[in-house]
Amino acid sequence: MSRNYRDTLHLPKDEQTIPMRANLPEQEPRWQAFWREIDLYGKMLAKPAPNGDFILHDGPPYSNGDIHIGHALNKTLKDIVVRSYCMRGYRTPYVPGWDNHGMPIENAVSKEFLARGEKPDKATLRRACREYAQRFVDIQREQFERLGLVGEWERPYLTMDYAFEAGIVRVFGELVARGYIYRGLRPTLWCPTCQTALADAEVEYEPKVSDSIYVAFPVVKPPSDAPATDNLQILIWTTTPWTIPANLALAVHPDLEYAYVRANGAVYLLAQPLVAPTMEAVGVRDYTVLGTTTGAQLEGAIARHPIFERESPVVLADYVSAEDGTGVVHTAPGHGAEDFATGKKYGLPVLCPVDAAGVFTDEAGEFRGLPITPDGNRAVIERLRSVGALLHYEPYHHNYPHCWRCDTPLIFRATVQWFMSIDHAGHRARALEAIRGVRWIPAEGEARITAMVQNRPDWTLSRQRAWGVGIPAFYCEACGEAILQSDLIERVAGIIEREGSDVWFTHPADYFLPDGFACPHCGATRFRKETDVLDVWFDSGSTHRLVLETRPHLRWPADLYLEGSDQHRGWFNSSLMIAIGTRDAAPYRTVLTHGFVLDGEGRKMSKSEGNVVSPLEVIQKMGADVLRLWVASCEYFEDVRLSDEILKYVADAYRQIRNTLRFMIGNLADFDLARDAVPYAQLNELDRWMLARLQEYLRYALHAYESFEYHRFYHETRRFCNVELSAFYLDVIKDRLYAEARESAARRGAQTVLYELASALTRLLAPIIPHTAEEVWQRLPAPDKPVSVHLADFPAVREEYRNAALLERWERILEVREAVNRAVEAAKNEKRIPNPLSAHVLVHAPEPLYGVLGAYPTPTAPDNLLARVFGVSQAEVAPADGALQVEVRPAPGQKCARCWLVLPTVDAETELCARCRAVIGA
């Protein structure tokens, strides 16, 4: 039984380092409390910022429901940006915001009223919406803070704040003043029972039996290549006969092939691929195809409306398909979104002879007064039959949009809406030019938003809703004209700023108008207010004006917008429209987008699939730092994946990084940087190698941060910790740390390097795992360190530590180390030695390798660097002619009872090697 020298070693003690088990769910809130206590965010802003401001403008999440994994990805990325820019010497204010108005909250609140059998007026409903929104702002704020996000949580921006609502009205007023805003007809999904417009999200598709008809339109101006006939007719098919009175055009696809078909004594024109099915459907057996043409050839031909004395020109449209019908689409711009767009392109009017209740108006002529279904349908069909235009009728089963409240089949009906013109004053072209001046990351984003801005129609700003900012327009009760004036809008804004936008719904028009105001059109003095509210995309599209320009520590434009790639159509787009319309420039300099979070198989997460990962659960079970490390591990420019399996691997990575830091901190317990640091020139070669390696790692890591490629940082850090530190450097220096004299240069030198490593790693990891980094930072033995790691700067690359020649030489040594490992492993397997520390290694090294290895000290010296690097007790190098060869044999001598090296200098009396005898003075 050997004597116990354990107490004479400088082993790390548990209580002098961070615990191995992180217990993040419990510890993280304590660090968050610490940050609040020291006002971390305030201190971050107060810290010197040699690189100036960096403004990340937060896109507002909707204040409804708990946060989901998409929020976690987005906000964590933002937090990494904010914290890392701060540590890179920027001043980084971050004002989080929420989007409060809109349909989902209004609907949720309406349901609550409905459940209680109440029918609230608009003011009551709006008050309940405001409370509801505030409740979820508070809930989400707490959840975001639990994620560890740093920012201005005490003073976020809310789109329902009075000042914000007033600001929205003023931005709208600016667009009015610049001539962007107009009123016009546009088809919207309409419920004739509820007599209201519906949003797409309120539509439910259900099976329905419709009246489908084939109708012939007589041609009055035939296409140039038409066969000679005095009875050419164009065939259409529709499932909504009641829209025939509103027909203004016939649409064909330019690239589709069309056929002239002789049958029934007439010549019919329809899509060639649909000739056979159509003839069969209408019961025609004998027919002849006289010739074919293309859709493009048909443009300019003119048909006559089968009922009314009116022309119906042939127009081209890409959405026409040869899937069903006749390949010719009956086009009624007042009754369909596509029809409307085509009508606009060809300058057709928007005819909508149907009122709010779904009854034909005077414009429907003989059909006036009939409800469109079923009477209107029937009357139209009968009329078509009587004029000989009806080729066939049959019931048709399909899925059709229904009202989610009352289950009534919906109709498309043109209604008067407010618009922002996208082509006013060269707006679209200026927007496209501004896009070119923005940096889009990844670069594909530019093509995406460019296509969307190129193709987007005018912006429909009005919504027939309650929970939003009222459109500040008045109508003259006498002449009915709409009154939209900048001065009146400013008056309204001023009142809203004081009283909130509810006031628009609780007070009469007089309240907002100056005394004696008279209608500019007719001079009358009685007015009513517009009841529509603004699209919520207008709210969020205004945030750059109402947040960046109103808070003194912010600035317009923002340096960065960072959102999911769906916002190319959403927020990036609406913000750009308003910025170009009011400030003539883009509101952002850089736009960074991330993908969506999918499950482990790359599929969309959905409740019904049961593959949803809740960030709240992950935080509760594993901690926010693990979730954040997952975010950093992802190449997020594309879609990212998340599953329990993936989280398990990330948690493993977290533990490995944590343990590496734990070991370093533990071995720095008796180290004081000011007192004990060893000057670079006195460090041994391995230590200098480590510092050189650290600089290379730093270069890579800092570059990864600069390019927002956190996953590259993550991977390199993992590799650095596992391969270069744990498996090599830290393992090799254990002998020095534990066994050399406490104050020796050998031990203090290793600690000096440990300090550099721990300090650099902790700071670099801080933006990603802020709680863990803080935990380590508080243990780091540095004099005059900032109170929080988040107030420190990123480590800089120290050029004086870089050393290419040294790295190159050690590249060779590490190759030999691998050969030694293989030889030792073989010896172990052959039972020639029990373990590496009982081995003596003889390396037969050919030139030029021998020139490198031969320069190191003698085989059995306690400071035999090669033996330590190889992880054996003794190592020798001999010149060789052939290939590199490694001989392994049991090391001669005895095992030192203190340092466990097998050395010939161990004496029987003390069981200690010469080095250990000297160290403990035995």
> Looking only at residues 622 through 641 of this chain, which bind RNA when binding is defined by CB under 7 A?
633-636, 638-641
Q: How many CB atoms lie within 10 A of CB 822?
A: 12
Q: Which of 291, 834, 851, 892 binds RNA (CB under 7 A)?
A: 834
Q: Which of 199, 266, 284, 452 binds RNA (CB under 7 A)?
A: 452
Q: How far is the CB of 915 from RNA (least distance, A)?
A: 12
Q: Which of 620, 835, 857, 887 binds RNA (CB under 7 A)?
A: 835
Of the ranges 204-212, 274-282, 756-764, 822-830, which one interacts with RNA (CB under 7 A)? 822-830
Integer distance in angstroms from the first to the last C-alpha of the chain? 19
185-244: contacts with RNA (CB under 7 A): 200
161-180: contacts with RNA (CB under 7 A): none
Q: Which of 260, 268, 728, 801 binds RNA (CB under 7 A)?
A: 728
Q: How far is the CB of 728 from RNA (least distance, A)?
A: 6
Q: How far is the CB of 159 from RNA (least distance, A)?
A: 19
Q: Is 618 in the site for RNA (CB under 7 A)?
A: no
User: 776: which 2 tokens?
Assistant: 């380590």
Strand 474-476 to 482-483 pairing? antiparallel
Q: Which amino acid is at 535?
A: D
Distances (CA, A) of 692 to 462, 673, 695, 738: 63, 19, 5, 24
Whichever of 573 and 695 has its CB closer to RNA, that residue is: 573
Residues in contact with RNA, counted by CB under 7 A, come to a total of 82
Q: How far apart are CA 420 and CA 226, in angstroms?
A: 43
Of the ranges 411-419, 543-551, 659-667, 873-881, which one interacts with RNA (CB under 7 A)? 659-667
The answer to whether residues 51 and 649 touch, using CB atoms and an 8 Å cutoff, is no
Q: Which of 660, 751, 762, 873 binds RNA (CB under 7 A)?
A: 660
Q: Which of 269, 359, 613, 899 binds RNA (CB under 7 A)?
A: 899
Could you tell me where the beta strands, DSSP code E, fall in 595-746? Answer: 597-598, 640-641
Q: Which of 276, 296, 723, 855 binds RNA (CB under 7 A)?
A: 723
Q: Is the peptide bond before 767 cis (omega within 30 degrees of 0)?
A: no
Q: How far apart are CA 747 and CA 553, in angstroms?
A: 49
Who's near 193: CB < 8 A, 6+ residues apart? 403, 406, 408
Closest CA to 627 of 73, 166, 23: 73
Q: Which amino acid is at 7?
A: D
555-614: contacts with RNA (CB under 7 A): 565-566, 569-570, 595-596, 598, 600, 602-604
Q: How far is the CB of 415 from RNA (least distance, A)?
A: 17
684-713: contacts with RNA (CB under 7 A): 709, 711-712
User: 264: which 2 tokens?
Assistant: 């029934």
Closest CA to 625 of 202, 79, 211: 79
Q: Is 272 in the site for RNA (CB under 7 A)?
A: no
Q: How far is the CB of 408 from RNA (least distance, A)?
A: 22
Q: Is 811 in the site for RNA (CB under 7 A)?
A: no
Q: Which of 26, 784, 818, 830 binds RNA (CB under 7 A)?
A: 818
Whichever of 5 and 671 has its CB closer to RNA, that residue is: 5
Q: How many CB atoms lie within 10 A of CB 413?
A: 23
Of the ranges 163-171, 521-529, 684-692, 891-899, which one interacts with RNA (CB under 7 A)? 891-899
93-112: contacts with RNA (CB under 7 A): none
Q: Is 866 in the site for RNA (CB under 7 A)?
A: no
Q: How far is the CB of 457 from RNA (least distance, A)?
A: 9
Whichever of 204 and 355 has its CB closer to RNA, that residue is: 204
330-359: contacts with RNA (CB under 7 A): 337-338
Strand 249-252 to 196-197 pairing? unpaired
Q: Which of 56, 546, 824, 827 binds RNA (CB under 7 A)?
A: 824
Partners of 475 in the β-ladder: 482, 528
Closest CA to 671 of 781, 830, 815: 781
The answer to whether residues 293 and 258 touch, using CB atoms and an 8 Å cutoff, is yes
Q: How far is the CB of 403 from RNA (least distance, A)?
A: 18
Measured CA angle at 699 (ends 689, 663), to 5 deg:
55
Q: How far apart are CA 308 and CA 171, in angstroms?
A: 46
Whichever of 135 and 822 has its CB closer to RNA, that residue is: 822
Provide the 3-class DSSP secondary structure of residue 811.
helix
Of the ranges 150-158, 763-771, 815-823, 850-858, which one interacts with RNA (CB under 7 A)? 815-823
288 burial via Cβ count (<10 Å: 0-12, 13-18, 19+): exposed
Q: Is 730 in the site for RNA (CB under 7 A)?
A: yes
Angle between helices 162-177 and 486-499 (to 10 degrees): 170
Closest CA to 353 of 365, 338, 344, 341: 365
Whichever of 33 and 649 has its CB closer to RNA, that residue is: 649
Of the ranges 41-49, 272-280, 415-423, 821-829, which one interacts with RNA (CB under 7 A)? 821-829
Partners of 270 in the β-ladder: 259
Q: How far is the CB of 718 from RNA (least distance, A)?
A: 4
Binding mask 769-808 for RNA (x = CB under 7 A): ----------------------------------------
Whichever of 530 and 599 has its CB closer to RNA, that residue is: 599
Whichever of 41 and 571 has its CB closer to RNA, that residue is: 571
Q: How far apart are CA 904 and CA 331, in angstroms?
A: 100
Q: Which of 587, 749, 781, 836 binds RNA (CB under 7 A)?
A: 836
Q: How far is the CB of 835 from RNA (least distance, A)?
A: 4
Closest CA to 770 of 76, 10, 254: 76
Q: How far apart are CA 602 and CA 626, in angstroms?
A: 21
Whichever of 348 and 634 has its CB closer to RNA, that residue is: 634
Of the ranges 204-212, 242-250, 724-732, 741-749, which one interacts with RNA (CB under 7 A)? 724-732
Q: How far is the CB of 359 from RNA (least distance, A)?
A: 27
> Running DSSP on this structure, what letter comes out for residue 880?
E
Partners of 252 in the β-ladder: 316, 328
Q: Which of 204, 477, 549, 731 binds RNA (CB under 7 A)?
A: 731
Q: How far is the CB of 824 from RNA (least distance, A)?
A: 6
Q: Which of 451, 796, 814, 918 binds RNA (CB under 7 A)?
A: 451
Q: How far is the CB of 648 from RNA (least distance, A)?
A: 8
2-31: contacts with RNA (CB under 7 A): 5-6, 9, 11-12, 14, 20-21
Q: Is 766 in the site for RNA (CB under 7 A)?
A: no
Closest CA to 166 of 464, 580, 550: 550
Q: Which of 611, 821, 885, 910 binds RNA (CB under 7 A)?
A: 821
Q: Which of 33, 155, 276, 319 binds RNA (CB under 7 A)?
A: 319
CA 121 centroid distance within chain? 37
Q: Is 814 in the site for RNA (CB under 7 A)?
A: no
Closest CA to 185 of 343, 16, 322, 72: 343
Whichever of 232 and 438 has its CB closer to RNA, that residue is: 438
Of the ranges 95-103, 178-186, 293-301, 716-724, which one interacts with RNA (CB under 7 A)? 716-724
Partners of 534 in the β-ladder: 462
Q: How far is the CB of 518 from RNA (least distance, A)?
A: 42
Q: How many CB atoms lie within 10 A of CB 631?
A: 27
888 burial via Cβ count (<10 Å: 0-12, 13-18, 19+): buried
Q: Is 878 in the site for RNA (CB under 7 A)?
A: no
CA 212 centroid distance within chain? 44
Buried b (16+ CB within 10 A) or exposed e, 533-543: bbbbbbbbbbb
